[in-house]
Amino acid sequence: MSDLAMMASIVQATEVEHEPTFLGLDAGGWVALAMIAVFAIFIWKKVPGAIAGALDGKIALIRDQLAEAESLRKEAEALKAEYEKKSKSADKDAAALIERANHEAEDIVAKAKTDAEVLIERRTRMAEDKIAAEERAAVDSLRATAADAATKAAARLIADRHDANSDERLVDQAIGEIGQR
């Protein structure tokens, strides 16, 4: 049996299946014919040229965009360099302003010290002058008081030591001295 089964399988394997055909072409032939027709129509309608033209247009557009991007990059680099230069200049200006402000602050502090010293000196002189004036006024007041007291004491001494006879002698002596002149 095994020989028979084997023979049957060989016979089955050797049998070739025939596919249906139309006008002598099977399915693969018709697909190939359709593809040839499509390619012929493409060539007749100049599709490859249109595709090439479209691709050339896209390539030109991309080149233009790349050129524009390159010019924008160069422009951006120039702007960046300019702003870096301006930034450095602004940093230098800021440093100069700070230095100038520090010098002005030092000048203001020095002037304030000088003005304070002058003011203190002037007020000291004014106070010394005022003290000297008060001392002179006190001395003058003491002199006036002493002179008044001396005058009163002299008047009392004269009144106590002189009588009418001595007054008459003094008057006669004064008249005599006036007559001699």
Q: Which residue has the higher pLDDT, 21 or 89?
A: 89
Residue 177: inside a domain = no
Residue that is written with structure tokens 């790349």 in the block: 66
Residue 16: inside a domain = no
For residue 89, give its domain range.
Answer: 23-160
Are 12 and 4 in contact by the 8 Å Cβ rule? The answer is no
CA distance 143 to 111: 47
Of residues 13, 29, 33, 12, the one with CA closest to residue 21: 29
CA distance 19 to 33: 18
- pLDDT tens, position by position, 69-128: 999 999 999 999 999 999 989 988 999 999 999 999 999 999 999 999 999 999 999 999
CA distance 112 to 119: 10
- pLDDT tens, position by position, 40-81: 888 888 877 888 888 889 999 999 999 999 999 999 999 999
Residue 105: inside a domain = yes
CB burial readout 23-48, b (16+ within 10 A) else e: eeeeeeeeeeeeeeeeeeeeeeeeee
Residue 6: inside a domain = no
Residue 180: inside a domain = no
CA distance 164 to 111: 79
Residue 63: inside a domain = yes
Cα Dmax for the chain: 209
Residue 137: inside a domain = yes
Residue 169: inside a domain = no
Domains in the chain: how many in total? 1
